[in-house]
Structure formats: structure tokens, C-alpha cells
């Protein structure tokens, strides 16, 4: 069975369900940011998405000196 994810943006609303692929798409579309939280049934509590494996999909800004 595929993982089923939900997310919250700190506004008290919960969004979902989403598959892994849909979650990655939301990140790439910049709908989700690193400080948003995700949850699935296997987790005891919400997790900051920037602290998960999904953090690899966030584009990193590099500064030039």
C-alpha cells in the first residue's frame, strides 16, 4: 500500500491525502516550503518537511561572493 500524506502550513488547516509523487510535485511547484509540516499514519506527530527525506527536493539558493 502506498504512503498517504497530509500537510499543514501552520494555519490550522490540514490538506490531503497525497501520494509520495504528489507531495514531491507540491514541493517542486513551491506550494510546500521547508517549514511546512507533513504527517502520515505511521507517525506519532507532525514532522517539519525540511527535516525529512523530502528536503532533497527543495531548491537551494547559492550565494556568490
Residue 54 falls inside a structural domain: no
Tens of pLDDT, residue by residue, the chain (65 residues): 578 999 999 888 999 999 999 999 999 999 999 999 999 999 999 999 999 999 999 876 444 44
Q: Is residue 7 part of a domain?
A: yes
1 belongs to a structural domain? yes
pLDDT at 63: 45
41 lies in a domain? no
Examine residue 14 and state whether it is found in any structural domain, yes or no.
Answer: yes
Asked, for residue 15, whether it belongs to a domain, the answer is yes
3-state secondary structure the chain: CCCCEEEECCCCCEEEEECHHHHHHHHHCCCCCCCCEEECCCCCCCEEHHHCHHHHHCCCCCCCC
User: Does residue 39 sit within a domain?
Assistant: no
pLDDT of residue 1: 58
Instruction: Give the pTM.
Output: 0.84
**Cα separation of 40 and 60, whole Å?**
26
Q: For residue 60, tell me if it sits in a domain.
A: no
Q: What is the pLDDT of residue 60?
A: 64
Report the domain count for the chain.
Answer: 1
Expressed as residue numbers, the domain containing 25 is: 1-34
Amino acid at each position: 500500500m502506498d504512503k498517504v500524506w497530509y500537510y499543514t502550513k501552520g494555519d490550522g488547516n490540514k490538506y490531503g491525502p497525497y501520494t509520495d509523487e504528489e507531495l514531491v510535485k507540491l514541493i517542486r511547484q513551491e506550494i510546500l516550503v521547508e517549514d511546512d509540516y507533513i504527517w502520515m499514519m505511521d507517525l506519532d506527530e507532525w514532522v517539519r518537511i525540511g527535516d525529512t527525506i523530502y528536503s532533497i527536493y527543495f531548491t537551494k539558493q547559492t550565494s556568490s561572493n
